[in-house]
Structure formats: structure tokens, C-alpha cells
Chain A
Amino acid sequence: MYENIIEIRHVHKRFKHVQALVDVSLAVRRGEVLFIFGPSGGGKSTLLRCINRLETVDEGEITVDGIPVTDPHADIDALRAEVGMVFQLFNLFPHLTALQNITLAQEKVRKRSREEAAEIALRLLNRVGLPEKADAYPRQLSGGQKQRVAIARALAMNPKIMLFDEPTSALDPEMIKEVLDVMLDLAREGMTMVVVSHEMGFARAAADRMVFLDAGQVVEVGTPEEIFSSPKEKRTKEFLAHVLY
């Protein structure tokens, strides 16, 4: 067993005209909730997407549970099944019902029987508070409901890690809480989570450590206590002054 379930070592990533990540090194411990925040364009999504290779890195190395993600010969499909991802815009499959959204990958990737997959899906819908929406299509769901189905869909794979990329940024204020509550439950149960978000309340309640990412660089890492009450870096202070009242 590796104590650090995710290891990111000296990762560089460049898009045509922008340096998205500059020498980023981070480790996530098993069961930890890591909260990543920072200004728009700071590289938060890019970093998250490198962890399950939705983006490839230019330099450096990332391992997940001991498996090198950055190795081109790694079995990336097997690895991705262990890493759940939740997107800002939900990305539910619009041609499938909520239940089918949750059973599809269980059947095709985990090779579970239809009955078993449906049973697991119903249990998870219940857990995210949507037992009556099994047969609803995504377009019949509110934003908050869609995001909770998306979380259930990721959880159905029994992932070791959950990645969240601004899961509440596209939601109306009254729906943010219902999604954060589900995430909070998950954190309490000991799920390893990497959360990119602007919800400082969630960070205070659930994060073990916070990472401030700006211009592709890790500027500061600390516990919520440290970051909120005594940030060391000037850039962190300035950013927090902007987002906190």
C-alpha cells in the first residue's frame, strides 16, 4: 500500500500559447480531501484532468495508487475506472435515463449483470436523495439533481478517488447546498477527494488541506485553518481578500 494515493512530481503542461502548469508537485494521501482553489485560468482544471489523463503532461510524472498515469503504456481504461470524475456541466448522457446513466459503465466496464447494476444504481440514487428520479431523462432534472446523478454515476464504479471540477459553479444558489451535502457525506465516509471549487464554506467544513494554484504554480499549501487565518503568501492573501467578505 502506498500512503500517497496520488503523487504528482514536477509536472509541466503547455498549451499553444499558455503555460498551464509549471513544475507542479503535490501528493494526496489516502482518505484525504484536497481542496484546490485559485483565479480563473490558474490551471486547476488542467491539473485535475492530468490525473486521469484527459490531458497528457509535457514533463513530470503522476502516479495513482502506484500506477504511472503518465506512462503511455499504462492501462488507462482500468485506471480511469478507479478514478471518478464530476464535471462542472454534469455531462450526463442525454439519451439515457438517470438509472441508465448509472448502469451503463457498470455493465460495460465492470461487467456487472443488468440486475446487479440496477440495484447498485437505485441504492446510489437513494443515497443522493433522488430515489424517485430513476426513470427521468437528464432534461427533466434540475441542475442540482443532474449533478447528484453525475456523482452517483461516478460512485457506481466504486472508485478509490473522486475528482470534482467546480461541481457547483453552474448551479443556482439554492441547489448548491444539495450537492455540497452529498460531497460532505462522501468526505466523512473517508473517500479520497480532490475538489476544485470556489466554495470556501465547503473547504472549511471538509478539506484536510487547501492548495492555492495561480498562473500554473502551486503558490501555497496548508490546512484550512492556516490558509484562512494566516496565509503566508501575498498572492494568497490578495485572492482571499477578493473572494471572502
Chain B
Amino acid sequence: MPESGPQAVAEVIPRKEPGLIPWTTQLARLPWWGLILLLLGVALVYAIVTVPNYTDAFYFIAPGLKITLLVSVSAFTIALVVGLVVGLGRISSNPIVYNISTFYVEVVRGIPMIVIIIYVAYVLVPILVSVVHSLGEALQTVPWLANTGRAMAALHITDINMLARAIAGLAFGYGAYEAEVFRAGIQSIEKGQMEAARSLGMSYFQAMRYVILPQAIRVILPPLGNDFIAMLKDSSLISVLAVRDLTQLGKLNRSRTFRTFETWNTVTYLYLSMTILGSMGVKWLERKLKTGV
């Protein structure tokens, strides 16, 4: 009498016990790369604690972490705002808004990030400052705006330090990429959602705010997380403006001590610690968004 159901199958195909897999296969399945990375990390921490050359390099370079994080977080926050506004502009039915947004996105995405940073720092910011300056001079002649005018006219290019210009440059560059993330996320939501919201009398912005964006955010969050990690790495480019981030302090330590190995091992280690933690966070987020509501 043939049995049916799972038992019958179990008779034919013996269930695989973990112990029955050949040990070579088990070894091959281990995440060796992670293990090696961890060992290297432990070795480096050990070196920093016990080897004076490494200790010295670490203490000189570590303050750069603060600058790297400060620049990345503030530039990314601004890039998110720019991205949302420009992303909405890219799907706007207003041809002027659409064309300005698309111009920005296409131009910025066609330029290497390091060139954007240099361009913003040495061209755009000075232009902006001189515009504010001349506007202030003009306003001074208007009686009730004289004070505002004087304050604006007092603005000088040396008032905008390189840290601020670095943040502006990265935000300007990343805004274009985030705009595309927002646009794609919004467009992934079915057209019927907007129509249902509008037919209830909601305005376009109400529909965006309460109906479209809360749904799009699930699509948008993982790529935003990845872009933040990319920003952490690209923030090293601001060392061209002599901002004392991790990379710049690495360069300075190298020329100060001539200990190339110790310097760049430490810098690499610090970047990797941040980016690996970050990508673990993004993976966790992705899994949560997939399984959650």
C-alpha cells in the first residue's frame, strides 16, 4: 500500500542532516571574506594599541572622522531636500519647472564629483556671494531695507569657509542623483492612487504628502541608504579643498611622519568600518521593508 504525503517523500530522499554534508562543502560555505576582514580589523586595532607608529598615526588621523561624518550627514540632508524638490520637478507638467530640473540633473550627472566640488567651491559660491553683495548695495539705497542691505553688502567671499563650500559641493552633486531616486520611487506608485486622492478633492501636494510619498518611501529608502554610503566615500574628495577630513589628515600625517604604511592602513580601516556598518544597516532595512507591512 503506497503511502502519500510528506512521509512517503522522506523515505525516498533521506533528509539532509547537517553532519552528513561533507566537511569540505561546509568549509566552502563559510563567509571567509568576512572572517578575513574581521581578523585584519582585529590585527589593526591590536597594532594601534601596541605599536607606537600606529598609535601616533591613529591619534593624528581620528579627528578627521568627525569632519567626514559632519560633512556627509549635512551634505546628504541637503541633497535629500534638493532631491525631493527636483525629483518632483522632473515629473511636473509645468514645462519651465520640468526643464530647469532636467537641466540640473543631466548636467550634474555628467560631471565627475571632484570637478563638481571644485566648481562649486571656486566658481558657484563666489558668484553667489558677489550677487548677494551687489544686491545688498542696491538695497542700501532703499530706506526701509537699508539694514538688510548693509548686512548683505558686508558679506565677503572669505566669510564662506572651505568646510561650508565642501558641504555645498557634495550636496549639489548628490542632489541630482537623489532626485532620480525620488522620481523613480514616485513613478513606481500606480497612477490610480493619485487619481483617487485627487478625485476626493485633495490638492496635488496633499496627495503627494499623504498618499504617494508614504508608499514610495519603501522603494526609495534602500537606494538612499546606498547613496549615503557612497557619499561617505566620496566625501574623501573634499580633501582637494584642504578640509581636514580623514583623507586630508592621512595626507598630512604621511608628509609629517613619512610612515606611508601606517598612515594609509589606518585611513582605510576607518573608512571601511563606517561603510561596512552602513551597508549592514541598509541590508537590515531592506529585509525589514520586504517582510514588514
Contacts and interface: CB of A to CB of B under 8 A. Distances in A.
Q: Do A and B bind each other?
A: yes
Interface string B165-199: 00000000000000000000000001011011111
Given A81-B201, A95-B215, A109-B202, A87 B196 contact: yes
A78 interface: yes
Given A54-B199, A81-B201, A105-B201, A93 B193 contact: yes
A109 B207 CA distance: 11
A169 to B, nearest CB: 14
B129 interface: no
A239 B274 CA distance: 68
Nearest to A106: B200
A202 interface: no
A220 to B, nearest CB: 28
Contacts of B193: 91, 93
B76 to A, nearest CB: 25
A64 B65 CA distance: 63
A242 interface: no
Nearest to A88: B192
Interface residues of B, number: 18
B200 A81 contact: yes
A108 B199 contact: no
A137 B215 CA distance: 14
A151 interface: no
A104 interface: yes
A85 B200 CA distance: 8
Given A91-B195, A93-B196, A108 B202 contact: yes
Interface string B211-252: 100110000000000000000000000000000000000000
Contact of A109 (B201, B211, B214, B215): B201
B196 A91 contact: yes
A78 B202 CA distance: 9
A54 B211 CA distance: 17
Contacts of A91: 190, 192-193, 195-196
A218 interface: no
A124 B83 CA distance: 40
B283 to A, nearest CB: 23
Contacts of B198: 54, 77, 80
A105 B215 contact: no
A77 B215 CA distance: 22
A52 B199 contact: yes
B214 A95 contact: yes
19 contacts: A77-B198, A80-B198, A80-B200, A81-B201, A82-B201, A84-B199, A87-B192, A87-B196, A94-B215, A104-B210, A105-B201, A108-B202, A108-B210, A109-B201, A150-B196, A154-B199, A154-B200, A157-B200, A157-B201
Interface of A: 52, 54, 77-85, 87, 89, 91-95, 104-105, 108-109, 137, 150, 153-154, 157
